[in-house]
């Protein structure tokens, strides 16, 4: 009696390819629930961010004044920018503010963070006091108070006259408005200070002890240990503060009265964009300015990321 054996492959059912397997019901429900929770953000992103950006990109190539339909003009708005003297002035004012204000603010934040990193009484109170100005933000009320301090016969002017300085205040002096704006930015260094402080807490104390044994002084410890260990935090703060500096508006608007004066010394880029869009109703021109700003900030961000490979050191980096 002979027994016929069927091949093993025939007895075992063929495996269903992963692409053809039906997704379990609980997974499908989780995906739907996830999109449901994301829907408010997605809706806000499409309606309040992506939609207006696409619309402004179209308007940048048109002549539009809010009262009639946009008229296509091609690259005319962009070519007009570089023949506009006030546009070039606003770009120069903003560049000076970014190049001077951002490093000074970061240096002040790092210096105070290093002081607060030392053990002493009332540490929490000091941290709260230094962080408090950042909680207020660049609000209209702060700009009003700041302007009142620096106007003619204001607090700063009276102190200056007491020590024999010239009278007149800083607000009306074109040579002093930029230092005044930078001081306002530096005064609100609380946010980068807290980030620096968190980074300093992560530096191993053993590194400083070993450096002290080798005879390293405070400066050498700072250059050889603190800065390299803080380089990722420094890069993060530099990136954020640079982008934020390009967006200064409310303080410049209040202090200059919305004109950019005196002598266009406070004519920041965003303020001139506002003037073109909402005072002169040249929405197409303002949209072109906005996209030029986006491109410039994007290029600077790319440069920062590119150059960071040479000076930012992460833990476990083999370089």
The answer to whether residue 137 scores a pLDDT higher than 70 is no
The answer to whether residue 26 scores a pLDDT higher than 70 is no
Q: What is the mean pLDDT of the chain?
A: 87
Q: Where are the alpha helices (DSSP H) in 117-189?
A: 123-136, 140-150, 155-162, 177-187
Give the pLDDT confidence score for residue 119 in this predicted structure: 78
- At 1, the pLDDT band (50, 70, 90 cuts) reads very low
Chain-centroid distance, C-alpha 179: 20
Q: Check residue 264 and give left, alpha or beta (phi > 0: left; psi -120 to 50: alpha).
A: left
The answer to whether residue 107 scores a pLDDT higher than 80 is yes
Alpha-carbon dihedral 170, 174, 177, 178, rounded to 10 degrees = -150
The answer to whether residue 95 scores a pLDDT higher than 80 is yes
Would you tell me which CATH number, out of the four given (1.10.3720.10, 1.20.1250.20, 2.60.40.1080, 3.40.50.300), belongs to the domain 76-311?
A: 1.10.3720.10
Better pLDDT: 74 or 18: 74
Pick from 6-10, 146-150, 246-250: least confident: 6-10
The answer to whether residue 257 scores a pLDDT higher than 60 is yes
Q: Report, as an integer, the average pLDDT of 206-217.
A: 90
Pick from 129-138, 157-166, 190-199, 304-313: least confident: 129-138
The answer to whether residue 285 scores a pLDDT higher than 80 is yes
Q: Which residue has the tokens 């406070």?
A: 266
Pick from 113-122, 252-261, 298-307: least confident: 113-122
Provide the residue ranges of all domains of the chain, joining segments of one domain with +. 76-311
- At 288, the pLDDT band (50, 70, 90 cuts) reads very high
The answer to whether residue 218 scores a pLDDT higher than 70 is yes
Give the pLDDT confidence score for residue 8 in this predicted structure: 47
Closest CA to 49 of 303, 297, 294, 292: 294
> Max Cα separation, the chain?
125
Give the pLDDT confidence score for residue 14 in this predicted structure: 52
Asked if residues 127 and 116 have their Cβ atoms less than 8 Å apart, the reply is yes
User: b/e per residue, 51-69, with b = 16+ CB within 10 A?
Assistant: eeeeebeebbbbbbeeeee
The answer to whether residue 247 scores a pLDDT higher than 90 is yes
For 290-306, write each residue's pLDDT tens digit. 999 999 999 999 999 99
């Amino acid at each position: 009696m002979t027994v016929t054996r069927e091949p093993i492959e025939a007895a075992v059912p063929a495996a269903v390819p992963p692409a053809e397997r039906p997704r379990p019901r609980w997974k499908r429900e989780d995906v739907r629930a996830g999109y449901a929770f994301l829907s408010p953000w997605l809706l806000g992103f499409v309606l309040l961010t992506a939609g207006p950006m696409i619309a402004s990109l179209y308007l940048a190539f048109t002549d539009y004044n809010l009262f009639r339909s946009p008229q296509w003009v091609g690259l005319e708005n962009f070519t007009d920018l570089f023949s506009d003297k006030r546009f070039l002035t606003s770009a120069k004012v903003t560049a000076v503010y970014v190049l001077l204000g951002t490093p000074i603010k970061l240096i002040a934040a790092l210096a105070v963070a290093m002081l607060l990193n030392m053990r002493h009484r009332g540490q929490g109170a000091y941290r709260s006091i230094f962080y408090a100005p950042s909680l207020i933000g660049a609000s209209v009320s702060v700009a009003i108070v700041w302007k009142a301090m620096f106007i003619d016969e204001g607090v700063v002017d009276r102190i200056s006259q007491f020590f024999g300085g010239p009278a007149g205040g800083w607000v009306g002096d074109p040579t002093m408005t930029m230092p005044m704006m930078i001081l306002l930015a530096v005064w609100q260094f609380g946010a980068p200070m807290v980030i620096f402080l968190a980074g300093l807490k992560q530096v191993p104390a053993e590194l400083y002890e070993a450096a002290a044994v080798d005879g390293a002084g405070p400066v050498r410890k700072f250059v050889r240990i603190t800065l390299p260990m803080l380089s990722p935090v420094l890069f993060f703060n530099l990136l954020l503060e640079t982008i934020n500096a390009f967006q200064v508006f409310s303080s410049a608007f209040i202090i200059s009265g919305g004109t950019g004066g005196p002598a266009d010394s406070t004519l920041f880029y965003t303020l001139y964009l506002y003037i073109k869009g909402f005072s002169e109703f040249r929405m197409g021109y303002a949209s072109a300015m906005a996209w030029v700003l986006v491109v410039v900030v994007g290029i600077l961000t790319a440069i920062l990321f590119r150059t960071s490979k040479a000076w930012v050191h992460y833990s476990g980096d083999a370089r």
